[in-house]
Amino acid sequence: MDPAFLGLRHVALNVQNVQKSVDFYTKVLGMTIEWNPDPDNFYLTSGSDNLAIHKSQEPGLPGTQRIDHIGFVVRTPESVDWWAERLKSLGIPFVHEPKDHRDGARSFYFNDPDGLLIQLIYHPPIANKN
């Protein structure tokens, strides 16, 4: 097992207008829609990354952006569990326990010292790309 990080390739954004954001990232930046489970959530890619667009549940001021979480990608589902055990051994609490997702991913969530939500994720479409 190789528990090394593959880099920071996943960002999730809370947005006020999902379709406007999807149009921007696809039409302006050339990303493609990887998965669209419902009208409030889109997952985009440029081939080696994953950008999640989520409808904000909190009304914000125009021009205000808030990062939902950042994700670190690992190569295997077992690597997710390896990292979960490591963080647990360091006394870092989980926001969400490790779990399998509908799209074949496996992940868990925790906070950094400033409260930024971090997802450590095995995401099949990008896990084996470098």
CATH architecture entry for 8-127: Roll (3.10)
Higher pLDDT, 1 or 44: 44
**Token pair of 34 as six digits:** 């990887």
Q: What is the C-alpha to C-alpha distance for residues 25 and 46, in angstroms, rounded to an integer?
A: 10
**What are the pLDDT digits (tens) for 68-122?**
898 988 999 999 999 999 999 999 999 999 999 999 999 999 998 878 899 999 9
Q: Are 9 and 75 in contact (CB under 8 A)?
A: no
As a whole number of Å, the end-to-end CA separation of the chain is 16
* Per-residue buried b or exposed e for 54-70, using 16+ beta carbons within 10 Å of the residue's own CB: bbbeeeeeeeeeeebbe
**Token pair of 126 as six digits:** 């990008």
